[in-house]
Structure 1
Amino acid sequence: MKPLEDVRIIAIEQYGAGPFGSVHLADLGAEVIKIEEPRSGGDVGRYVPPYGEGEDSLFFETFNRNKRSLSLDLSTDAGRRVFEDLVKVSDVVYSNLRGDVPKKIGITYDDLKHLNPAIVCCSLTGFGMTGPRSKEPGYDYVLQGLAGWMDLTGEPDGPPTKSGLSLVDYSGGFVAAISLLAGLHAARRDGVGMDCDVSLYDTAIGLLTYPAVWHLNEGFTPERTRHSAHPSLVPFQAFQASDGWFIVGCAKEKFWTRLASVIGHPEWAEPESGFGSFADRRRNKDKLIPLLEEIFRKRTVDEWLEDLYAASIPCGPINNVEQAMNEEHTRARGLRVKTEHPRFGTVEQLASPVRVGSEPPEYRRAPRRNEDFDLVVREIVGYDDATVEELRAGGAFGDAPFGDDAPADTEPEAASR
């Protein structure tokens, strides 16, 4: 069996953070059933430009492979009935909504424990379910500013800068997945479920790590550093060669000794040079860094990396996305995978970095909207035809296509590495 093959998750999720957290669980074998609100056309991620058509987008494919989709209107009594019947046969209710919404729509543990005492209710929200900001929507860009990240990022004389990736969203997804699995473990051990109150804000603050601890205890004020330099280790930053940029870092004294030799100045590793220790180099960085920059500009990136790799000094090129995708190590680790899609044909995806055991996961494309209607309502919940029609008439499933009207998929489900 796959590691999470015996886990069923009801996912009331959309866009990035929530689906990113659950996609790794789906890759590990969990049955993740996406609940898509039919009146709004389901997950908004289906419509994110520029690479999409109709209800299919490459954005949606990125975050929703290996999942199932059910269109369900929870605002109707009929839709609520279906949801509650699903709760009875599931392990987790997972959502990414505004902090006050889980209680409003009745998906917290207190709302559902009478249906399934062991249900785990994991809510990934912008600001958490308590506190003065709990009713505010949370967006990665806003949170990077609010949590101090942007003040730390960029050149010293430049504007505050957002990370090139939505790292609060993605880190929040990982934190939610960890919380969900911990809650599930405890529920199976004790027979009692719980709420997992996870937030993007908590995640962003937690990721301030040691600079925040330095500030809280020693009054340290973080400052932006030139060329992405490490705040305390010198040298550890980006340097410009004759044809591009690369990173070199001396996180241990032995690396500095080796670097000094590679650049033709072994004497700089001696105490009398003023550069012989971590403390010396940090104190004299305004003298040392310009010397290193002058040296590194004399050769190409590849020439420097060849010598630095040979000396086992931490280093690497500053790749663009294309170069990163074509790195030999990217391919060797099986990080590029393929799925088949009825509209896009073969889609290249990124493998989950979560690895459990020796068997590689299989990758199936993201579901079309409401594609798994029959699987969920007939096989998992066990409704007969009469019940389905009654629920349909009650507005449970909205106007989404289902059954014989669902999009056909004639492509193979499993993916290859």
Structure 2
Amino acid sequence: MMMPLADVRILAVEQYGAGPFGSLQLADLGADVIKIENPNDGGDVGRYVPPFAEGEDSLFFESLNRGKRSVSLDIKAEAGRAIFERLVADADAVYFNLRGDVPKKLGITYDQLAHINPAIVCCSLSGFGMSGPRHAEPGYDYVLQGLAGWMSLTGEPDGPPTKSGLSLVDLSGGLVAALSLLAAVHAARRDGRGMDCDVSLYDTSMSMLSYLATWHLSAGYDPQRMARSAHPSLVPFQLFPTRDGWIVAGCAKEKFWQRLAIAIGRPGLATDPRFESFEKRFAHREALQGILDEVLRAQTTEHWIRILREAGVPSGPVHDVPQALDDPHTHARDLLISTNHPRLGDVRHVRSAVRAGTAEQEYQRAPRRGEHGPDVLHDLGMSESDIAEAVAAGAFGDPDRSLTTASTGKADR
């Protein structure tokens, strides 16, 4: 079977985290993602992110760019622009994560490329979007977690505002961009006309306030940090200490509360007038937490997870990252994959969570900078003399340094 996106070609003017994470989902689904890397500044800055970085090879870059192809191309140079436009003519989408005011300056919006390919999709993922008072500002995950209110919701009530341990705005922004791009490509194939996709980290982080925003806007609710990462309204649904660690247990439905009370050997809690409904449990949450703490601290995490799972109560241990990666369910879901790198050796990854069909993907390492230049240029019908002429004209950066990249695919830095 063909991969679901085997007939989709995307030109990715991307770097660092959010943009590459979005196109990684598409590459893992079989799309031909061609990274357009600037030869004048070392290409994707993700190549140099420490730790575990040497020269232009880093595990950070490998984790976000497997299965893609790389072309070093200066799209600001006349000769480079000409090649870029030839690529646009045969692509489904141009995807970029640049500051909101940059795409128009580079000439890569739909209005600027439609004369080449009327069905081209131009998908922008920026910090603040391509309009609005902040559109020309750089946007980073940490900044957005603060700006969108996330940090005010994270951490203990008496502690400082806290960032998530993961770059969730970046990662979520990449997913939203990938979804937007696919929707636009579908419409372009249906209607014969492409479009812009103006996706931003700001919009993404704000939209993910979800029901908390609705509660505030509609009923004046003021979200606050909750002790032990507790749910803002459902009780019990939080962290609990055991004899040797922590567990998460949650009762999002009344039936789960009934099961929990029986499973921990305290069936009377289910009929206690203080705890007989969501509202009453919330009103008496401190008393209930004290009772549950006393019970759960008496046994180990392993004991309680076994008991609660058998009872059908949503629960799980609080793993560290190594434990999560080694969980039996991680292996059962085939979430761990490997690629081979000439310098880094065997690189192990977590595969994309996106699943579509049963076709098996053969995972390839991330590309060296400019590695696929010759293949891509030859696919455009360019001869060796055409390539040499483009090199001399500066299409691939400084002619003295770019010849190896254009003609042999070796990195030029």
Q: Comparing 314-323 with 351-360, which one deviates more in the overlay?
A: 351-360
Paired letter, 1:350: V
CA distance in structure 2 between the aligned counterparts of 1:175 and 1:406, rounded to whole angstroms: 32
CA distance in structure 2 between the aligned counterparts of 1:312 and 1:155, rounded to whole angstroms: 29
Residue 32 of structure 1 and its aligned partner are, at CA, apart by 0.5
CA distance in structure 2 between the aligned counterparts of 1:217 and 1:362, rounded to whole angstroms: 49
Paired letter, 1:321: V
CA distance in structure 2 between the aligned counterparts of 1:406 and 1:181, rounded to whole angstroms: 30
2:107 paired residue number: 106
Paired letter, 2:382: Y
Residue 261 of structure 1 and its aligned partner are, at CA, apart by 1.3
Per the alignment, do residues 97 and 404 of structure 1 end up closer, same or farther by CA in structure 2, a change over 3 Å counting? Answer: closer
State the secondary structure of the residue aligned to 1:75. Answer: coil
2:348 paired residue number: 348
2:388 paired residue number: 389
List aligned pairs for 1:74-89, cutoff 5 A: 74-89=75-90
After TM superposition, the score normalised by the length of structure 2 is 0.97
State the secondary structure of the residue aligned to 1:324. Answer: helix
2:229 paired residue number: 228
CA distance in structure 1 between the aligned counterparts of 2:393 and 2:355, rounded to whole angstroms: 43
Contact 1:70 1:370 in 2 (8 A): yes
CA distance in structure 2 between the aligned counterparts of 1:356 and 1:102, rounded to whole angstroms: 32
Residue 309 of structure 1 and its aligned partner are, at CA, apart by 1.0
1:284 paired residue number: 284
Paired letter, 2:368: R
Large movers: runs of 4+ above 6 Å: none
Contact 2:73 2:396 in 1 (8 A): yes
Per the alignment, do residues 351 and 2 of structure 1 end up closer, same or farther by CA in structure 2, a change over 3 Å counting? Answer: same
CA distance in structure 2 between the aligned counterparts of 1:177 and 1:366, rounded to whole angstroms: 19
Per the alignment, do residues 232 and 305 of structure 1 end up closer, same or farther by CA in structure 2, a change over 3 Å counting? Answer: same
Contact 1:128 1:198 in 2 (8 A): yes
Q: Comparing 316-325 with 254-263, which one deviates more in the overlay?
A: 254-263
Contact 1:20 1:170 in 2 (8 A): yes
Contact 1:267 1:273 in 2 (8 A): no
Per-residue CA deviations over 1:141-187 (Å, capped at 9, x if unaligned) read 00000000000000000000000000000000000000000000000
CA distance in structure 2 between the aligned counterparts of 1:308 and 1:56, rounded to whole angstroms: 45
List aligned pairs for 1:3-402, cutoff 5 A: 3-270=4-271, 272-379=272-379, 381-398=380-397, 399-400=401-402, 401-402=404-405
Paired letter, 1:310: E
Contact 1:337 1:350 in 2 (8 A): yes
Query: Percent identity of the aligned residues?
Result: 61
Residue 80 of structure 1 and its aligned partner are, at CA, apart by 0.7
CA distance in structure 2 between the aligned counterparts of 1:388 and 1:210, rounded to whole angstroms: 55
Residue 382 of structure 1 and its aligned partner are, at CA, apart by 1.3
Per the alignment, do residues 396 and 407 of structure 1 end up closer, same or farther by CA in structure 2, a change over 3 Å counting? Answer: closer
Q: Comparing 112-121 with 284-293, which one deviates more in the overlay?
A: 284-293
CA distance in structure 2 between the aligned counterparts of 1:177 and 1:131, rounded to whole angstroms: 23
RMSD: 1.1
CA distance in structure 1 between the aligned counterparts of 2:140 and 2:147, rounded to whole angstroms: 10
Residue 263 of structure 1 and its aligned partner are, at CA, apart by 2.1
Paired letter, 2:51: P
CA distance in structure 1 between the aligned counterparts of 2:359 and 2:384, rounded to whole angstroms: 39
CA distance in structure 2 between the aligned counterparts of 1:231 and 1:208, rounded to whole angstroms: 13
Contact 2:373 2:407 in 1 (8 A): no
State the secondary structure of the residue aligned to 1:70. Answer: strand
After TM superposition, the score normalised by the length of structure 1 is 0.96
Gaps in structure 1 of 5+ consecutive residues: 409-417
Paired letter, 2:128: F
Contact 2:6 2:32 in 1 (8 A): yes
Contact 2:234 2:252 in 1 (8 A): yes
CA distance in structure 1 between the aligned counterparts of 2:357 and 2:47, rounded to whole angstroms: 32
State the secondary structure of the residue aligned to 2:40. Answer: helix
Contact 1:23 1:63 in 2 (8 A): yes
Paired letter, 2:216: H
Residue 75 of structure 1 and its aligned partner are, at CA, apart by 1.6
Contact 1:305 1:315 in 2 (8 A): yes
State the secondary structure of the residue aligned to 2:95. Answer: strand
CA distance in structure 2 between the aligned counterparts of 1:361 and 1:149, rounded to whole angstroms: 36
Per-residue CA deviations over 1:218-245 (Å, capped at 9, x if unaligned) read 0000010000000000000000011100
Residue 403 of structure 1 and its aligned partner are, at CA, apart by 5.2
CA distance in structure 2 between the aligned counterparts of 1:122 and 1:180, rounded to whole angstroms: 6
List aligned pairs for 1:399-410, cutoff 5 A: 399-400=401-402, 401-402=404-405, 405-407=408-410
Residue 87 of structure 1 and its aligned partner are, at CA, apart by 0.6
Contact 1:16 1:170 in 2 (8 A): yes
CA distance in structure 2 between the aligned counterparts of 1:114 and 1:188, rounded to whole angstroms: 17
CA distance in structure 1 between the aligned counterparts of 2:181 and 2:406, rounded to whole angstroms: 32
Residue 130 of structure 1 and its aligned partner are, at CA, apart by 0.3
Paired letter, 1:402: T
Number of residue pairs matched? Answer: 406
Residue 405 of structure 1 and its aligned partner are, at CA, apart by 4.3
Paired letter, 2:310: A
Paired letter, 1:118: A
Contact 1:33 1:70 in 2 (8 A): yes
CA distance in structure 2 between the aligned counterparts of 1:275 and 1:236, rounded to whole angstroms: 14
CA distance in structure 2 between the aligned counterparts of 1:62 and 1:159, rounded to whole angstroms: 31
Paired letter, 1:153: T
CA distance in structure 1 between the aligned counterparts of 2:59 and 2:146, rounded to whole angstroms: 28
